């Protein structure tokens, strides 16, 4: 969904120690604090339609919405007890867990591998992943596309050392890509769709068969383990709005275009490549996340290995 990959920056600097107490105090107040990012797709629609408020009313809970600039800030808010629940991509929770954050994997959206890809300029001589050897490749360090690049290189007999990574955030990477100062760009929607439509960029390979590209819903551990019924109702509300988006993708694109300023064509292409439907995490999904964590540890992108299962939601506790 639009901007589902915008939660990508390395999670660092977590303030530890007060999450449990703050989370329990907030739970007693029965205000569910949901974090979202500006332009955050399905949650924006959920907020406007009041679906979550209706789902939580039978439990006696109210809802407070708080906007965050990016995933690290959102996860830190969960960790210190300033928020209860929010969406991120695959990478930020791994960095957060490595930093000791007191958060759990509460839910996820299905894998959407077509929402991210390695792209090149329309007149580039690069035709395959093997052609990237010795080339300068732009990407956001530690993001989901970092894992896509690692997997794509490995699947084609290359190592990470065979390319020259240019670690740039999306806006800077787009400028470098347009100037031709990088040979390829590993990126996600809506930036991916925008480059295709406005620049004629070509796809070398998307993440199909290489990286899952799953979006996660993270929760503070005290809220998740002390209020399972409430968290299940939250996931049901998100799944309800996902169902509407799934059946009204063109209308969604029109409305999101008005909210974000992105061309409707860009939004629609991105949402058409997304798989939707919020659900609780499964052991299989966490196993996939563990592979990403192990890859990041091997590349020393995180300071120590992590056991993803330690951050699984223990439903009913």
70-84, 130-144, 145-159: least confident range: 70-84
- Whether the pLDDT of residue 283 is over 60: the answer is yes
For tokens 């949901």, the residue is 34
- Whether the pLDDT of residue 78 is over 90: the answer is no
Residue 145 to residue 132: CA distance in whole angstroms: 15
Beta bridge pairs of residue 34: 65, 85
- Whether the pLDDT of residue 315 is over 80: the answer is no
Q: How buried is residue 227: exposed, middle or buried, by Cβ count under 10 Å (0-12/13-18/19+)?
A: buried
C-alpha distances out from residue 306 to 35, 79, 199, 288, Å: 25, 17, 39, 13
Average pLDDT for 165-170? 92
Q: How does residue 169 score in pLDDT terms, banded at 50, 70 and 90?
A: confident
DSSP secondary structure string for all residues of the chain: -TTTT---SPP-----S-HHHHHHHHHHHTEEEEEEETT-THHHHHHHHTHHHHHHGGGT-EEEEEEESSHHHHHHHHHHTS-SEEEE-SHHHHHHHHTT--EEEEEEE---GGGEEEEE-TT-S--SGGGGTT-EEEE-TTSHHHHHHHHHHHHTT--GGGSEEEE--HHHHHHHHHHTSSSEEEEETTHHHHHHHHH--EEEEESTTT----EEEEEEHHHHHH-HHHHHHHHHHHHHHHHHHHH-HHHHHHHHHHHH---HHHHHHHHHT-----B---HHHHHHHHHHHHHHHHTTSSSS---GGGGB--TT-
Q: How does residue 4 score in pLDDT terms, banded at 50, 70 and 90?
A: very low
Give the pLDDT of residue 314. Answer: 77
Residue 194 to residue 167: CA distance in whole angstroms: 20
Average pLDDT for 107-130? 96
Give the pLDDT of residue 69. Answer: 63
pTM: 0.81
More confident residue, 141 or 184: 184
Interhelix angle 264-272/191-199, rounded to 10 degrees, is 120
Cis? peptide before 39, omega within 30° of 0: no
Average pLDDT for 302-312? 93
Q: How does residue 65 score in pLDDT terms, banded at 50, 70 and 90?
A: very high
Give the pLDDT of residue 10. Answer: 35
**Ordered structural domains, the chain, with CATH:** 19-109+214-311 (3.40.190.10), 113-206 (3.40.190.10)
Average pLDDT for 137-160? 91
Q: How does residue 316 score in pLDDT terms, banded at 50, 70 and 90?
A: low
C-alpha distances out from residue 9 to 88, 101, 153, 182, Å: 10, 16, 22, 20
- Whether the pLDDT of residue 276 is over 80: the answer is yes
Average pLDDT for 211-239? 92
Average pLDDT for 146-174? 93
Average pLDDT for 130-142? 93
More confident residue, 257 or 21: 257
Average pLDDT for 59-77? 83
Q: How does residue 1 score in pLDDT terms, banded at 50, 70 and 90?
A: very low
Residue 209 to residue 106: CA distance in whole angstroms: 25
Report the chain's mean pLDDT, rounded to a whole number: 87
Give the pLDDT of residue 28. Answer: 53
In tens, the pLDDT along 7-47 reads: 333 333 333 333 343 444 344 579 999 998 766 789 988 99
**Widest pairwise Cα distance in the chain:** 61
């Amino acid at each position: 969904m639009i901007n589902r990959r915008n939660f990508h920056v390395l999670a660092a600097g977590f303030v530890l120690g007060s999450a449990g107490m703050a989370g329990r105090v907030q739970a007693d107040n029965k205000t569910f604090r949901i974090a979202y990012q500006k332009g955050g797709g399905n949650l924006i629609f959920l907020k406007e339609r009041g679906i979550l408020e209706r789902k939580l009313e039978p439990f006696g809970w109210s809802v407070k919405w708080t906007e965050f600039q990016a995933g690290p800030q959102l996860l830190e808010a969960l960790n210190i007890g300033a928020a209860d629940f929010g969406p991120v991509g695959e990478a930020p929770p791994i960095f957060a867990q490595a930093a000791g954050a007191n958060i759990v994997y509460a839910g996820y959206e299905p894998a959407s591998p077509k929402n991210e890809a390695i792209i090149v300029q329309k007149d580039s001589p690069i035709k395959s992943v093997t052609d990237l050897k010795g080339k300068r490749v732009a990407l956001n360090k530690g993001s989901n596309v970092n894992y896509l690049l690692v997997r794509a290189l490995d699947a084609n007999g290359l190592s990470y050392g065979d390319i020259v990574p240019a670690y740039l955030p999306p806006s800077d990477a787009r400028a470098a890509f347009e100037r031709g100062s990088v040979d390829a760009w590993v990126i996600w929607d809506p930036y991916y769709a925008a480059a295709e439509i406005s620049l004629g960029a070509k796809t070398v390979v998307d993440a199909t068969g290489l990286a899952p590209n799953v979006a996660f819903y993270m929760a503070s551990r005290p809220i998740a383990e002390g209020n399972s019924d409430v968290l299940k109702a939250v996931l049901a509300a998100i799944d309800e709005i996902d169902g509407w988006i799934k059946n009204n993708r063109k209308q969604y694109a029109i409305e999101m275009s008005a909210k974000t300023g992105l061309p409707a064509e860009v939004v629609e292409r991105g949402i058409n490549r997304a798989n939707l439907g919020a659900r609780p995490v499964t052991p299989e999904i966490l196993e996939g996340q563990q592979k990403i964590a192990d890859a990041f540890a091997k590349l020393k992108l995180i300071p120590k290995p992590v056991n993803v299962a330690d951050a699984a939601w223990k439903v009913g506790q």
